[in-house]
Amino acid sequence: MSHGNILVVDDERGILDQLAGILRDEGYSDATVATGEEALAAVSREIFDLMLLDVWLPGIDGIEALRQLRAAGHQLPVVLISGHATAELAVRAVREGALDFLEKPLALERVLVTVHNALAHARLERQLKVERGEEVPLLTGSSPAVVELRRQILLAAPTDSRVLISGPNGAGKEVVARLLHLHSRRAQGPFVAVNCAAIPAELIESELFGHLKGAFTGAVENKRGKFEIADGGTLFLDEIGDMSLLTQAKVLRVLQESRFTRLGGSQEVRVDVRVIAATNKNLDDEIAAGRFRQDLLFRLNVIPIRVPGLDQRREDVPLLVEEFMRQFTRRTGVRPKRVSPAAMEIMQAYDWPGNVREVRNLVERLMIMVADEEITPVVLDLRSAGPLPGGDGAFVTLRQAREQFERQYVERVVEECGGNMSQAARVLGLERSHLYRKLRALGLRSR
């Protein structure tokens, strides 16, 4: 794990040398300046994790430097140093945003404890910013496919091995990644997600590795990259197959060496990050087409996990609908609704091309747009289940909707039974003669 980059500000050469020596012995990187003006200039050029700032300086003093730092929007944690600490000074320091105080003469153990606590506080703040507002991920379902998926997650999670998650869009690849993180030894560290397909190619390197002010047009301030923010935790690279070959090469180097350089910078940053990647593409096909590096696939695909589409676990649909209704009710206070048996049968017969994400979106729409307490087939409007509205856009009657569903369902059962009417009758719970009468009533032909 990166120990941290610390800026030391003091006009006494002896103090600078003492603190620099202490920090280097403990594995920290450091920079030293002698004035408040130099400190503000250094912060504008480079990213630091902590500033040790003397109060009494030539030019602007430490308190004024801290005030200007905060006024410029920098959230860098600052520990003030003073040989004349008073209660009044401490109150001013806290008001301006100082995290802690060190008194001269400096005691080795006190310095190290203060630095360690300040860096831990800063990491926690960054983690909370990343994860604030996120719900605890749930892998809802009891189908054999989900049971097997849970087993794989619990086996892979405690290791630091990289995982490559594959599966169709909307199937829940990020949920799997979050569960891998939550059940790992890194659970107290940050979980940082990057959608590689959603970031323009010219910005992805800055997003991953960070940049310094002026590194490119539009880089108006220093910025940490996702690798650095995820230090000590997990970085989730979603849709890795959409990453450019140039960026793939740089990610490969980070995976090999656990270090990188920010855009516009020269100092190497070391990180301890577990990388989990995901894709909806066949990466072997991408390699054959020259769009993905084989050596990067070898690095990422230590533990492969496949997330099934919802068409492979239709029995989980009722549980997903119930869970998403519960989440929406908890979030908005809207009263829960009932799903009629006929409507649920349509949902389970539907192909769900958008997978779990489509279920969530449908439930949210129904919770908002349906005034009744019961959700019936009339309001579903699912493409694979057949068009429920009439040809002119008006809804059909409930009786017509039920007849339409019954016709589709019986026809599907007969088709899946290969036209074997005895088998279809058993599946439908009808006598064979009753099935023939039902087919005639519905306008369907027996095979």
Rounded distance between C-alpha atoms, residue 311 and residue 348, angstroms: 9
Tokens of 380: 């579903």
Residue 383 is predicted with a pLDDT of 53
* 440 CA to centre of own chain: 53
Cα 358 from Cα 371, distance rounded (Å):
21
> Which parts of 157-191 fold into alpha helices (H)?
173-182
Domain chopping of the chain, boundaries: 5-131, 144-308, 312-383, 397-447
Sign of CA dihedral 327, 328, 333, 338: negative
Report the distance separating Cα 416 and Cα 258, nearest Å: 53
Rounded alpha-carbon distances, angstroms, from residue 47 to 6, 7, 219, 247, 251: 9, 10, 13, 22, 21
Alpha-carbon distance of 363 to 301, in angstroms, equals: 35
Query: Across the chain, which distance is largest between two alpha carbons, in Å?
Result: 101
Question: Which pLDDT belongs to residue 131?
Answer: 56
User: To 10 degrees, the CA torsion angle through 349, 350, 355, 359?
Assistant: -90
Query: What confidence score (pLDDT) does residue 9 get?
Result: 95
**Amino acid 440: pLDDT:** 76
Check residue 397 and give its pLDDT.
Answer: 54
With tokens 């995982």, the residue in question is: 163
What is the rounded distance in angstroms from the CA atom of residue 441 to the CA atom of residue 444?
8
β 210-211/223-224 pair status: antiparallel
Provide the strand spans (E) within 148-289. 163-166, 191-195, 210-211, 223-224, 234-238, 259-261, 268-270, 274-279
Helical ranges in 277-316 per DSSP H: 283-288, 294-300
Q: How far apart are CA 212 and CA 210, in angstroms?
A: 7
pLDDT at 233: 93
Cα 161 to Cα 44, 205, 249: the distances in Å are 37, 24, 20
Class of domain 5-131: alpha beta
* CATH numeric code, 144-308: 3.40.50.300
Q: Which residues of 414-447 are buried (b: 16+ CB within 10 A; e: fewer)?
A: beebeeebeebbeebeeeeeebeebbeeeeeeee
**What stretch of H or E contains 268?**
strand 268-270
Say whether 160 sits in a helix, a strand or coil. coil
CATH of domain 397-447: 1.10.10.60
Q: What is the β-pairing status of strands 374-375 and 338-339?
A: parallel
pLDDT of 392 reads 40
Residue 389 has what pLDDT?
41
Q: What is the pLDDT of residue 391?
A: 40
- Give the pLDDT confidence of 99-146 residue by residue, as tens digits: 888 888 888 888 999 998 888 887 777 666 655 544 556 788 889 999
Helix (H, G, I), strand (E, B) or coil at 371: coil
Cα–Cα distance, 125 to 7 (Å, whole number): 19
* Integer Cα distance of 254 and 235 in angstroms: 12
DSSP 308: P
The segments of the chain whose pLDDT lies below 70 read 1-3, 73, 85-87, 90, 126-137, 383-404, 445-447
How many CB atoms sit inside 10 A of residue 142's CB? 10
Query: What dotted CATH number matches 312-383?
Result: 1.10.8.60
Report which of 122, 171, 159, 140 is spatially closest to residue 234, judged by C-alpha positions.
Answer: 159
CA distance 360 to 140: 12
Q: Which amino acid is at 404?
A: Q
Query: Can you list the alpha helix ranges (DSSP code H) found in 132-143?
Result: none
Q: What is the pTM of this model?
A: 0.66
* Whether the Cβ atoms of residue 165 and residue 307 lie closer than 8 Å to each other: yes
State the Cα–Cα distance between residues 404 and 216, nearest whole angstrom: 60
Residue pair 370/330 in contact by the 8 Å Cβ criterion: no
At 177, give phi and psi (nearest 5°). Answer: -60, -45
Whether 144-308 shares its CATH topology with 397-447 is answered no
